[in-house]
A and B are shown apart, each in its own frame.
Chain A
């Protein structure tokens, strides 16, 4: 019995010598494979494991890779944390810029423009003209998002090469276009307060404008009819709340519609600038 035990222990010990744990390199290779295959969630988990077990020299690169997995999944807040961490530990200017510009992209997606501006102003891009252009483009995007089109124009111009005068002129024209400010949500709001439905028509939504006016004047007619037939107390308690509800809804919606239209106009102009700068 004792001999058998010794035999088993010896065999198992030999087996343990045979068996190999997964190395960090194979873990990273597997994560890279998953990333290429578009399995970003799985890749992120593997990179996180590699970060935990891997050598300290590769922490910066692995952190950026983990951030990339979240960026691909449009999980901007999570990705930003990894890029932020990476930018704090990476010493090389070029790689630090890469991490910080990716962080800025995440911040722009989250509409945290001021935070992105702070990071971009603090990053060194003297090592490459291309990096400087990219930094200026990101700064221009931030100012565009904040509605500071004058400042955005300055940075978009700096994002272009010296000789690209035609493109600079086009950007200037686009950023001085009245479409950036129209339709004005506040104007639409006040128009609908004064004449129900007019704010929506001003914003270009005719269907909603006519609908709103029909509801307002319909309930108004009902209110007056009830006042004359059943008395003003009945009218106030039965029809007035509905009339008030759709009147309030009308001017609130007019503001929302105008805002959405203006945002769509701005998005369209930004898209044109984006193509002008990035397609060379």
Chain B
């Protein structure tokens, strides 16, 4: 009985050692870029590039200019994800020019610090989640 026990212990120790024995340092390689700041690249130009007609192009260009020159200089003031400007352009694309613009204005009236309880919270963007229906 003692012999069987000893053999068992030896076998389990050997398998344990082979399992972990070779000191694998590959996990250290993940540290190489650990201090590299995470840059969030924004691509706003596809609304202009993908425009199907001149009106789409104008709305796309307005959105692109706003995002590049105005919004980039602002603090993070919109409480929603997607932001009001993105919501507006998506709304125009999905609902057409008249309904889309009305919907965008409706969104602007809802964007305020007390909007909290009515919308789900998006962990990733740390904003209230309100996509275009």
| A→B interface (CB under 8 Å) | 55, 57-58, 60-61, 64-65, 68, 71, 74, 92, 94-95, 98, 102, 105, 108-109, 130-131, 134, 137, 141, 144-145, 208, 211-212, 215, 245-246, 248-250, 252-253, 260, 263-264, 266-267, 270-271, 274-275, 278
Q: In the bound complex, do residue B73 and residue A208 qualify as a contact, i.e. CB atoms below 8 Å apart?
A: yes
In whole angstroms, what is the CA distance A57 to B10 when docked?
A: 11
Of the listed stretches B19-27, B82-90, B111-119, B120-128, chain A binds B19-27
Given A71-B27, A246-B74, A274-B32, answer yes or no on A211-B69 (Cβ-Cβ < 8 Å). Answer: yes
Q: Determine the chain B residues whose CB is within 8 A of the CB of A68 once the complex forms.
A: 27
Q: Determine the chain A residues whose CB is within 8 A of the CB of B74 once the complex forms.
A: 245-246, 249
Q: In the bound complex, do residue A57 and residue B16 qualify as a contact, i.e. CB atoms below 8 Å apart?
A: yes
Given A211-B73, A250-B73, answer yes or no on A108-B34 (Cβ-Cβ < 8 Å). Answer: yes
In whole angstroms, what is the CA distance A68 to B17 when docked?
A: 16
Q: How far is the CB of B11 from chain A (nearest CB, A)?
A: 9
Q: In the bound complex, do residue A95 and residue B12 qualify as a contact, i.e. CB atoms below 8 Å apart?
A: no
Interchain Cβ contacts under 8 Å between A and B, 25 examples: A55-B12, A58-B12, A58-B16, A58-B19, A61-B20, A64-B20, A65-B19, A71-B30, A95-B17, A105-B27, A134-B28, A145-B34, A145-B35, A211-B72, A212-B73, A246-B73, A246-B74, A248-B75, A253-B73, A253-B75, A263-B35, A266-B35, A267-B33, A271-B33, A278-B28
Given A55-B12, A211-B72, A212-B73, answer yes or no on A95-B37 (Cβ-Cβ < 8 Å). Answer: no
In whole angstroms, what is the CA distance A39 to B82 when docked?
A: 33
Given A95-B20, A108-B34, A267-B35, answer yes or no on A102-B69 (Cβ-Cβ < 8 Å). Answer: no
In whole angstroms, what is the CA distance A144 to B31 when docked?
A: 12
Q: In the bound complex, do residue B23 and residue A98 qualify as a contact, i.e. CB atoms below 8 Å apart?
A: yes
Task: Kindly identify which residue among A60, A98, A134, A260 contacts B37, using a CB–CB cutoff of 8 Å.
Answer: A260
Q: How far is the CB of A253 from chain B (nearest CB, A)?
A: 7
Interface presence of B15 (CB below 8 A): yes
In whole angstroms, what is the CA distance A55 to B19 when docked?
A: 14
Q: Determine the chain A residues whose CB is within 8 A of the CB of B1 once the complex forms.
A: none
Q: Determine the chain A residues whose CB is within 8 A of the CB of B70 once the complex forms.
A: 215
Closest to A200 in B: B73
Q: In the bound complex, do residue A249 and residue B73 qualify as a contact, i.e. CB atoms below 8 Å apart?
A: yes
| Interface range on chain B (Cβ under 8 Å from partner) | 20 to 34
In whole angstroms, what is the CA distance A260 to B35 when docked?
A: 11
Interface presence of B36 (CB below 8 A): yes
Q: How far is the CB of B80 from chain A (nearest CB, A)?
A: 18
Q: In the bound complex, do residue B36 and residue A105 qualify as a contact, i.e. CB atoms below 8 Å apart?
A: no
Known A105-B28, A109-B34, A141-B31; 14 more pairs at CB < 8 Å? A57-B16, A61-B16, A68-B27, A95-B21, A105-B31, A109-B30, A211-B69, A249-B73, A253-B72, A260-B37, A264-B36, A270-B34, A270-B35, A278-B25
In whole angstroms, what is the CA distance A130 to B23 when docked?
A: 10
Q: Determine the chain B residues whose CB is within 8 A of the CB of A248 once the complex forms.
A: 75
Q: Determine the chain B residues whose CB is within 8 A of the CB of A270 once the complex forms.
A: 34-35
Task: Kindly identify which residue among B17, B25, B39 contacts A134, using a CB–CB cutoff of 8 Å.
Answer: B25
Task: Kindly identify which residue among A57, A92, A105, A249 contacts B30, using a CB–CB cutoff of 8 Å.
Answer: A105
In whole angstroms, what is the CA distance A278 to B70 when docked?
A: 45
Closest to A61 in B: B19
Q: In the bound complex, do residue B16 and residue A60 qualify as a contact, i.e. CB atoms below 8 Å apart?
A: yes
Q: In the bound complex, do residue B36 and residue A267 qualify as a contact, i.e. CB atoms below 8 Å apart?
A: yes
Q: Which 3 A-B pairs have CB atoms at the shortest separation, nearest pair first? A: A57-B12, A267-B35, A61-B19
In whole angstroms, what is the CA distance A109 to B67 when docked?
A: 32
